[in-house]
Amino acid sequence: MEISTAIFYLVAAVTVGSAAMVAFSRNIIHSAFSLLGTFAGVAGIYVFLGADFVAGVQVLVYVGGILVLILFAVMLTHRITDVQITNRSAGRIPGLVVVAILFVLLVQSIGETPWAKAKEVVYKATTASIGDLFLGDYLLPFELASLVLLAALIGAVVLARQEIKE
């Protein structure tokens, strides 16, 4: 087995394993920290797919941003002294059954579908080309995205600081 293939399986295992922790852990803090493994693993997978820029964005935004946000939210909504930092689940068995059926079907369709093949699989730095695309073909969505982010920013502030009168 080649070393790169071995590393791929290692990364894949970390990703899937920590995702499973997110799904099954009883403690919400554990879940949140496992999410770190998943996000980092997905970033690694991006690297394997030759998407260096997306991998960077993944680390910056997910690990640096969203994860911290989630941890903050967990801390703010649970008193640390509270013993009940548990993460209650309900309806595990039916959930498991439905998801298992779905998984089988997904894998089946992945196997059966004749996926299109690119002429050649290339690995090269993508940042410059992505920059060109953002300021070229995707200029309008790019600008709209900034508006969406601004709206989300304002919306989050308004929602979070709203005083609720009993």
Contact with another protein (CB under 8 A) among 3, 83, 140, 160: 160
- The residue count for binding another protein (CB under 8 A) is 88
Site for another protein in 37-56 (CB under 8 A): 38-39, 42, 45-46, 48-51, 53-54
Residue by residue, what is the 3-state secondary structure of 106-120?
Answer: HHHHHHHCCCCCCCC
The answer to whether the beta carbons of residues 27 and 86 sit under 8 Å apart is: yes
Q: How far is CA 76 from CA 73, 109, 113, 144, in A?
A: 5, 42, 46, 32
SS3 21: helix
Site for another protein in 98-157 (CB under 8 A): 98-103, 105-112, 115-122, 126, 129-130, 133-134, 138, 141, 145, 148-149, 151-153, 155-157
Give the integer Cα–Cα distance in Å for 35 and 22. Answer: 6
Site for another protein in 57-96 (CB under 8 A): 57-58, 61-62, 65-66, 69-70, 72-74, 76-77, 87-92, 94-96
Binding string, residues 5-34; x marks residues near another protein by CB under 8 A: x--x---x--xx--xx-xx----x--xx--
